[in-house]
């Protein structure tokens, strides 16, 4: 059973993170609240500037379409889609609003997102009574820096024109008359009546915006999503949740390149009022192998292959420079970070950041994720790899062999001191372990004997330096007494069997000291929130320890922290139970898929 998390006071009119549902056309994404307000949309692509940014500041733009009188709200996605239907029950009657980012006309299956028209469609359907409705449209391009001119069009629509952006709003309710910097329009909807609205984006100096019939576009978008999911199958445990999470991952996939964005949003905080507010609208190589595994589990092989091709192309020819931990959606390396000082931040959590300077960090775990993904795909890549693939794998293995003794920033991308993080060293071991297995396909430059010797040295070092006798667990960094939930990743990576005495002790200590009665697992002892991915790692560890019944119970507790439409952000606040961090979070849904499969096939890698 999925339940909604409680709201928290976040300022006048500012919804909780869990109040938002996710729309996607696999090019861009939008967030729509329970109150009918679209408060986030970056129409050109996931990481482009917003035209609706009220998520991060009350004055940064929105588009609300809802009854004038508030009442009970029910909402759900159309099955196997990211098309949202919200039913408002008011004293005057009931009305449904169905929202979607339109697919290209006639797109089906894997064509979804390749040529998305960048059009938001909203269809209002009267269910009972006669319901007064209000449309409130206040676009603010460039993250709220621009207030557009609004021009009435001959067909009753409105053109919002500012800087590089042109937005065209049309609806079937008579002329939409602008009032300086916004459009406010009221109308009534009778039972059985259907009214559509469409909002089309276009570059101000490019081709004009596409014009769509909202009802036709909505039906075609539903058909595109349904056709897409018909090509995928999953018959394991928790099939509904896995299929939905696979749809969410598809929605976070930038179809033109195959990259998977870590989340739709930027700067939603890990702690209310805190400053760990980062931009997650990029693709992380650290998540690469976990994402590939989730795609295979959810029977999405084409997505896995396209993601792999994007990563190989983004890494490019190996040189002396380390591979960045993240890239832009089309493979850009330089995604330098800056702050948007004019935005107040969600619930006053500042700074608001665009870009992510983690691309500059030394992250020793990245090669392990990439080579592990190659190893997972090796049966599909041929008996002899092509020259570019050989060059990439050999180059990554040689980088690990040369640098594994260095400190780095670790899995959680700390911005203070570099340390010898346990998870980074283990993923160095993974890189060389998988490279040794792949050596027959890597050509003359492969050096499996030397790689194996270094691999074994890394393993011995981790087992010696990573263990803390006093705590009875592997800790977050060599010589540290601080527990870190990333130690739960060791059995998942096959570095240690979960039933190994020290590993079993680590799992038990992490569960006792970092876990909660609600099934959540914090990353470290001072973390005020449970990290959803770590909670799903604990599920996998319990299965591998042979505690299937307890693992199922834990899995179902974690499921209960999703919002009412089955979405997870990055974290769950331990005190209030509300979602925190960027949303929807790819890693949270990846963790769900992989844990569900582990519960289905306990011996599966």
pLDDT in tens, 37-51: 999 999 999 999 999
238-269 burial by CB neighbour count: b if 16+ within 10 A, else e? beebbbbbbbbbbbbbbbbbbbbbbbbbbbbb
pLDDT bin (cut points 50, 70, 90) of residue 9 is: very low
pLDDT band for 238, please (50, 70, 90 cuts). Answer: very high
Residue 533 CA to its chain's centroid (Å): 12
Taking 90 as the threshold, does the pLDDT of residue 448 lie above it?
yes
Strand segments, DSSP code E, in 139-176 are 149-152, 158-162, 165-171
Per-residue model confidence (pLDDT) at position 110 = 67
Domain residue spans of the chain: 17-230
Q: Return the DSSP state at 419.
A: B
> What is the sign of the dihedral through the CA atoms of 536, 380, 434 and 421?
negative
Q: What tokens appear for 374 in the block?
A: 């190659």
Alpha-carbon distances of 291 from 197, 279, 284, 590, rounded to whole Å: 36, 19, 10, 6
Q: What is the pLDDT of residues 91-103, one digit of tens each?
A: 999 999 999 999 9
Residue 136: C-alpha distances to residues 36, 281, 344, 493, 510 (Å): 10, 27, 22, 50, 49
Handedness of CA 177, 182, 186, 192 (dihedral sign): positive
Asked whether 136 and 176 are in contact (CB, 8 A), the reply is no
Residue among 596, 545, 574 at smallest CA distance from 5:
574
How far, in whole angstroms, is CA 16 from its chain's centroid? 18
The torsion angles phi and psi of 571, rounded to 5 degrees, stand at -140, 165
Q: Round to whole Å and give the CA distance between 62 and 139.
A: 6
How far apart CA 463 and CA 182 sit, in angstroms, is 62
pLDDT of residue 321: 83
- Of 110-124, 415-429, 454-468, the poorest mean pLDDT is in 110-124
Distance set, CA 601 to CA 34, 213, 412, 489 (Å): 37, 46, 29, 18
pTM of the model: 0.95
In this structure, are residues 295 and 301 in contact, taking their beta carbons and an 8 Å threshold? yes
- Helices 288-297 & 366-377 angle (0-180, nearest 10): 30
In degrees and rounded to multiples of 5, residue 61 shows phi and psi of 100, 145
Measured in whole angstroms, the distance separating CA 150 from the mean position of its chain's CA atoms is: 34
For the chain, the average pLDDT equals 93
Question: What percent of the chain shows pLDDT beyond 90?
Answer: 85
pLDDT cut 70: percent of the chain above it: 97
Q: At what angle do helices 288-297 and 586-600 cross, to 10 degrees?
A: 50
**Segment holding 531, helix H or strand E:** strand 529-531
* 1, pLDDT greater than 60: no
Query: Confidence band (pLDDT; 50, 70, 90) for 152?
Result: very high
Supply 587's token pair: 């890693």
Return d(Cα 577, Cα 28) in angstroms, integer.
29
CATH class as words, domain 17-230: mainly beta
């Amino acid at each position: 059973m999925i339940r909604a998390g409680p709201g928290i006071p976040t300022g006048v009119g500012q919804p909780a993170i869990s109040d938002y549902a996710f729309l996607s056309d696999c090019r861009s994404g939008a967030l729509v609240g329970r109150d009918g307000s679209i408060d986030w949309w970056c129409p050109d692509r996931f990481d482009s500037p917003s035209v609706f940014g009220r998520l991060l500041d009350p004055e940064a733009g929105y588009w609300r379409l809802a009854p004038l009188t508030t009442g009970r709200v029910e909402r759900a996605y159309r099955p196997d889609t990211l098309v949202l239907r919200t039913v408002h029950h008011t004293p005057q009657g009931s009305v449904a609003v169905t929202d979607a980012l339109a697919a290209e006309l006639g797109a089906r299956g894997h064509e979804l997102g390749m040529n998305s028209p960048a059009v938001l469609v909203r269809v209002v359907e009267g269910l009972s009574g006669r319901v007064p409705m209000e449309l409130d449209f206040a676009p603010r391009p460039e993250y709220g820096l621009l207030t557009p001119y609004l021009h009435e069009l001959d067909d009753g629509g409105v053109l919002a024109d500012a800087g590089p952006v042109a937005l065209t709003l049309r609806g079937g309710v008579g002329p939409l008359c602008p009032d300086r910097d916004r459009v406010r329009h009221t109308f009534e909807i009778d039972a059985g009546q259907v009214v559509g609205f469409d909002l089309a984006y276009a570059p101000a100096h490019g081709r004009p915006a596409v014009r769509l019939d909202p009802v036709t576009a909505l039906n075609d978008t539903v058909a595109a999503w349904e056709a897409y999911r018909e090509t995928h199958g999953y018959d394991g445990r928790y099939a509904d949740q896995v299929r939905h999470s696979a749809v969410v991952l598809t929605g976070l996939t930038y179809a033109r390149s195959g990259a998977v964005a870590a989340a739709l949003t930027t700067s939603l905080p890990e702690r209310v009022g805190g400053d760990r507010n980062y931009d997650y609208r990029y693709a992380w190589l650290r998540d690469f192998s976990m994402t590939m595994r989730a795609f295979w589990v959810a029977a999405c092989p084409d997505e896995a292959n396209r993601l792999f091709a994007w990563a190989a192309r983004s890494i490019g020819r190996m040189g002396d420079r380390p591979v960045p931990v993240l890239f832009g959606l089309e493979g850009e390396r330089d995604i330098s970070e800056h702050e948007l000082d004019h935005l107040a931040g969600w619930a006053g959590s500042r700074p608001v950041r665009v870009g992510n300077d983690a691309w500059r960090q030394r992250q020793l775990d990245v090669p392990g994720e990439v080579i592990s993904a190659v190893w997972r795909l090796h049966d599909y890549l041929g008996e002899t790899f092509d020259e570019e693939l050989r060059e990439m794998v050999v180059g990554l293995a040689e980088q690990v062999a040369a640098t594994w003794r260095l400190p780095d920033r670790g899995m959680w991308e700390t911005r203070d001191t570099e340390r010898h993080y346990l998870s980074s060293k283990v993923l160095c071991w993974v890189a060389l372990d998988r490279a040794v297995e792949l050596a027959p396909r890597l050509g003359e430059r492969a050096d499996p004997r030397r790689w194996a010797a270094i691999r074994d040295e890394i393993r011995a070092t981790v087992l010696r330096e990573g263990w803390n006798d006093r705590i009875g667990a592997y800790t977050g960094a060599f010589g540290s007494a601080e527990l870190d939930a990333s130690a739960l990743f060791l059995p998942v990576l096959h570095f240690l069997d979960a039933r190994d005495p020290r590993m079993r002790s680590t799992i038990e200590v992490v569960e006792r000291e970092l876990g909660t009665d609600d099934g959540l697992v914090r990353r470290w002892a001072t973390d005020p929130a449970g990290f959803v991915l770590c909670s799903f790692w604990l599920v996998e560890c319990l299965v591998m320890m042979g505690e299937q019944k307890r693992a199922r119970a834990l899995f179902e507790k974690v499921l209960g922290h999703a919002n009412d439409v089955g979405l997870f952000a990055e974290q769950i606040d331990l005190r209030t139970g509300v979602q925190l961090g960027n949303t929807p979070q790819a890693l949270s849904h990846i963790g769900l898929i992989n844990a569900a499969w582990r519960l289905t096939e306990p011996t599966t890698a």
